[in-house]
Amino acid sequence: MPKTIKKVGVLTSGGDSPGMNAAIRSVVRTCAYHNIECIGIYRGYQGMIEGDFKEMGPRSVNNIVNKGGTVLKSARSIEFRTPEGRQKAHAHLVKAGIDALVVIGGDGTFTGGLIFNAEFDFPVMGIPGTIDNDIFGTSHTLGYDTALNTVVEVIDKIRDTASSHNRLFFVEVMGRDAGHIALNAGIGAGAEEILIPEEDLGLDRLLDSLQKSKASGKSSSIVVIAEGDKIGKNVFELKDYVEANLPEYDVRVSVLGHMQRGGSPSCFDRVLASRLGVKAVESLLEGKSNYMVGLQNDKVNLTPLEQAIKGKSEIDRELLRVSDIMST
């Protein structure tokens, strides 16, 4: 017999991403629509351990759909990794009368939810929120589309300088384990080369490509590099290597960093967050647990949390081919 859900807790954990606030808003208002209570849990699992809770209603989430970051704050909790920490968290949830959790974040957040469910048989539903788009079971994670638009806008501005001074720019974007941002933004911004963790371009091929670009008449070039690319130890060593072997290039480095995580979410991310929040709450009310809500073929579907954590988000091979053709 499914557990009756009368009060849902919602938290954000791990790295923030644009669209998290829109997802919080969706969870809160879906709870109100179904006449159940919603409790905001501040600072992720650490706030759950400390009982840092606040009741949330439809009016408490006014004017947050357009805001980046997360109004519930985010934190990484070492204590939650211990059985004692999780026991404290469970005691606070029981005391507050919370029956189920919606956790918004990445694989670390989902792993915490999965373990918590296994220990306490506590209903958990996950919403994928990370700009890296590296979660299995969804074509888009919250914040990914906004990050792409931010990166493309910045590269467009960098290209103005590159063209004016006949320079080669290495632009490093986020993506320690996945090259989705670099690949898509690189194509969208017209980059000459794109370096990602999934594909080892190799130093020789990079030099060859840059030489061909120069020979073809290109006076400036943009190379987009995912931070996890394996071609060099870091982007600055790569710059030194290229300058040593291609002295005709005036090389500059731009590391975009955390600006990619900020800003007002795109319309796509706001709509996606709204859809995922509704599905998460209604799935809990249907007695489901241990799932992640995600987007597949423009339909909101459920993926088991364990599968979302262990599965690998694959790079689009067709986009790699498109990238090669566009760099001609």
Which of 16, 132, 145, 269 is catalytic? The answer is: 132
How would you write the pLDDT of the chain (328 residues) with one tens digit per residue? Answer: 467 899 999 999 998 999 999 999 999 999 999 999 999 999 999 999 999 999 999 999 999 999 999 999 998 899 999 999 999 999 999 999 999 999 999 999 999 999 999 999 999 999 999 999 999 999 999 999 999 999 999 999 998 888 888 788 999 999 888 899 999 999 999 998 888 888 876 677 788 888 777 777 665 689 999 987 666 668 888 888 888 888 888 889 999 989 999 999 999 999 999 999 999 999 999 999 999 999 999 999 999 999 999 998 888 889 988 988 887 7
Which tokens in the block code for residue 148?
């792409």
Which residue matches tokens 């996950």? 126
pLDDT of residue 296: 95
Across the chain, which distance is largest between two alpha carbons, in Å? 72
* Amino acid (1-letter code) at residue 74: S
Measure the CA–CA gap between 192 and 187, rounded to whole angstroms: 9
Which tokens in the block code for residue 35?
């006449």
In sign, the C-alpha dihedral spanning 315, 321, 324, 327 is negative
Residue list for the binding site: 15, 25-29, 76-77, 106-109, 130-132, 159, 167, 174-176, 190-192, 218-220, 227, 252, 258-261
Measure the CA–CA gap between 39 and 46, rounded to whole angstroms: 15
DSSP letters for 220-248: -EEEEEETT-SSSSSHHHHHHHHHHH-TT
Cβ atoms of residues 323 and 186 within 8 Å = yes
Measure the CA–CA gap between 284 and 121, rounded to whole angstroms: 13
pLDDT of residue 1: 45
pLDDT of residue 324: 83
In sign, the C-alpha dihedral spanning 81, 83, 88, 89 is positive
Q: Which domains does the chain have, with CATH numbers?
A: 7-143+265-310 (3.40.50.450), 144-261 (3.40.50.460)
* Amino acid (1-letter code) at residue 163: S
Cβ atoms of residues 241 and 162 within 8 Å = no
Between helices 317-326 and 180-188, what is the axis angle to 10°? 40
pLDDT of residue 82: 96
DSSP code of 76? -
Residue list for the binding site for Mg(2+): 107
Half-sphere exposure of 12 (CA within 13 A, CB side): 24
Dihedral angle at the C-alpha atoms of 192, 195, 199, 205, nearest 10 degrees?
A: 60
Measure the CA–CA gap between 34 and 8, rounded to whole angstroms: 11
The pTM for the full model equals 0.93
Cβ within 8 Å of residue 155, ≥6 positions away: 171, 185, 189, 191, 222, 224
pLDDT of residue 157: 93
Residue 132 a catalytic site member: yes
Name which of 218, 217, 252, 145 is nearest 188 in CA terms: 145
Task: Kindly report the number of other CB atoms within 10 A of residue 234's CB atom.
Answer: 13
Sheet architecture: strand order including 193-195: 193-195, 221-226, 167-173, 250-255
